[in-house]
Chain A
Amino acid sequence: MTQLARKKIAKLERLAELAAVHANEGGESLWREAFRRLRHNPAAIVGAVILGIFVLVGFVGPFLVPFSPTQTGLGFVSEAQNIIPGPSAQHWFGLDHQARDEFSRMVVGARQTLLVGVVATAFGLFFGCLIGGLAGAAYGLGGKRGRSLDNVLMRFIDMLLAMPGLLLAVSIVALLGPSLTTVMIAVGFVSIPTFARLLRGSMIAQANAEYVVAATSLGVGRRKIALSHILPNSVAPVLVQATLTLATAIIEAAGLSFLGLGNPDPATAEWGAMLTDALARFEFAPRLAFYPAVGIIITALGFTLLGEAMREALDPKLRK
């Protein structure tokens, strides 16, 4: 075994040990208390139920759908005669313009939407927190040099903020070529500035807290103070924002698909693209626009409800 590997293992063991020492029992932490308040908030429960159903559909739905979402010719469709069959016992949501089962496409589309929302938000969260955390720690603890680093990072963020979100996303897709991955990157990229500024501000506010001075007075190192003291006290607003961003990410991803910048394969079931297809047939089959629109609205609502409830639960001013 190499020296490095041995060191790594020793470190992991130490971490596991620490976690074991501190994880069990414990008392009621800030998070547990927030969770308890969350459980008593009806909005949070409604949001959680919506999201629960959404996630369930996204995960297991595609295995249970009655028809393949890409199978065409399930019935008689004539766009020239304005005939697209509506809901029936066999096809619950009716057929679409290529005679595919609309219900199956909605269910499979849920997975796509969930994937885009989560991956895009995770992308933005990761890079936003990286930049914001670095800037916040540098500004709060790094002295003069830290402040210059913070300045450089934040001016970069300002540049991103100067561009309208959707326009920025469209430019990124144009640059990288339309695909599902590109949509996720573009939507995530747009949310980077929000996360970065939020975490930075939150960390700077904590940097002058008394417990930070107290830890400093005991000789605790700056990296340790940033990671184990300031960061845990600063993440609450970022988590709330992440939940809310999931909602906007879904809407933005649908928007990009709607503009024809999503997955270029017309066969894939994707709510935003379905909306685009529906637009051309809106006059005689408005229900085709109704399903994906309602899907997008309800999931976005679920995330927003939960996010707002989380904000309330974690807000120290609203705590009893």
Chain B
Amino acid sequence: MALLNVEDLTVVFGGKDRADVRAVDGVSFEVRAGEVIGLVGESGCGKSVTSLALMGLLPPKGNKVTGKAIFDDGVNLLSTDQRTLRDMRGREIAMIFQDPLSSLNPVVPIGVQVTEVLARHRGMTGERARKEAEALLDRVGIPDPRRRLKEYPHQLSGGMRQRALIAMAVACRPRLLIADEPTTALDVTIQAQILELLKELVHQDGTAMIMITHDLGVVAGLCDWINVLYAGRVVETASRHSLFAQPTHPYTHGLLASIPRLDSVRGDRLNPIPGSVRDLLPWVEGCAFAPRCERVLESCVEGPPALVGGAHAYRCVNPFGADS
């Protein structure tokens, strides 16, 4: 049974005087309880919009969300009213953001921000809330939590800020955690620590997690199932093992090939994917990745490719492995 079942999620941004932009275009995936799934793709592929749409955090104007996202066989997150969502946010589903500094209120001490969540969902106040907040900071590995509670966000280091945000997100033991590039704004050494912490917390609480990232290294160490997004659509979906063993879509392949390797010969050039996400083709006309694809065929631009291939599915007419 799936904890979250996203079906045909589509987010269109548009206004009276601008052309519609399909930021997310029919994305479907499911998250089972306790499972970690990855949404991978480069900037502008729709991964953050997906997470904001699921949380109901998109601005009220200028966008249209369609599709279904059934949480726990009950509520459709995309169509339910804000009141229900407010009750669910933080308690059932919580989110961790990219930039810990701007995600914390600069003029309010950490302690107030943590206890606020406890007061909202667990009815804790005063000394009890403070004790619990202290325990939470301790749990996410912040040393001297008693002192830290009184400090302001700018007095904490980047890693510590992200830990504080994680503490707030897991304060009510939500069943689903959405992590939107939680390590992008951090030093490499801190990144590993934060990922380790997330892994540990998710494991301890049995929380399911959607990890949104552009970093395949992150998903490799963390996710059970991976969805690769390009221009708003899932282009490849597979278990971690299968995806890394056999990247099938040329985009996934390109992402993996572009990672610099320790064992490559010095002087070897890096292998970037040529072009940028801006060079996309609208999906209705064919494969959006076609303009940048090294395996492009004429049939690629004859119409949108379908997602094929069973458990390890891909959206490509000329995938890797097809000719060998």
Residues of A within 8 A of B (CB): 14, 17-18, 21-22, 24-31, 143-144, 208-211, 213-222, 224, 228-229, 232-233
Contacts and interface: CB of A to CB of B under 8 A. Distances in A.
A214 B126 contact: no
A316 to B, nearest CB: 9
Interface string B93-117: 0110101001111111101110011
B120 A210 contact: no
Given A218-B117, A219-B90, A26 B109 contact: yes
Nearest to B117: A218
Contact of B127 (A17, A31, A209): A17
Interface in B58-114: 59-60, 82, 86-91, 94-95, 97, 99, 102-109, 111-113
Contacts of A24: 150
A21 B155 contact: no
Contact of B108 (A28, A210, A228): A228
A21 B111 contact: yes
Nearest to B102: A210
Nearest to B103: A214
Contact of A224 (B95, B116, B147): B116
A128 to B, nearest CB: 21
B242 interface: no
Interface in B111-137: 111-113, 116-117, 120-121, 125-127, 130
Given A22-B112, A211-B105, A219 B89 contact: yes
In the complex, the 10 A-B pairs of residues with the closest C-beta atoms, listed nearest first = A219-B90, A218-B90, A219-B89, A214-B103, A210-B102, A217-B95, A27-B151, A211-B105, A27-B155, A26-B150
A217 B94 contact: yes
Nearest to B155: A27
B117 A28 contact: no
B117 A220 contact: yes
A24 B147 CA distance: 11
Nearest to A208: B59
B102 A211 contact: yes
B168 interface: yes
Given A17-B126, A29-B152, A224-B116, A218 B111 contact: no
B9 interface: no
Contact of B86 (A18, A144, A219, A228): A219
Contacts of B60: 143-144
Interface in B35-72: 55, 57, 59-60
A148 to B, nearest CB: 13
B223 interface: no
Contacts of B151: 26-27
B165 interface: yes
Nearest to B90: A219
Interface string B25-37: 0000000000000
Nearest to B178: A217
23 contacts: A14-B125, A22-B150, A25-B147, A26-B151, A26-B152, A27-B109, A27-B150, A27-B151, A27-B152, A143-B60, A211-B102, A211-B105, A211-B106, A218-B94, A218-B169, A219-B86, A219-B89, A220-B120, A224-B116, A228-B108, A228-B112, A229-B108, A232-B108
A26 B88 CA distance: 32
Contacts of B90: 217-220
B159 to A, nearest CB: 17
Contacts of B82: 143
Most buried by A among B95, B102, B103: B103
Nearest to B59: A208
A208 B165 CA distance: 18
A213 B99 CA distance: 12
Contacts of A21: 111, 126-127, 130
A11 to B, nearest CB: 10
Contact of A219 (B99, B104, B120, B125): B120
Given A14-B125, A27-B152, A22 B109 contact: yes
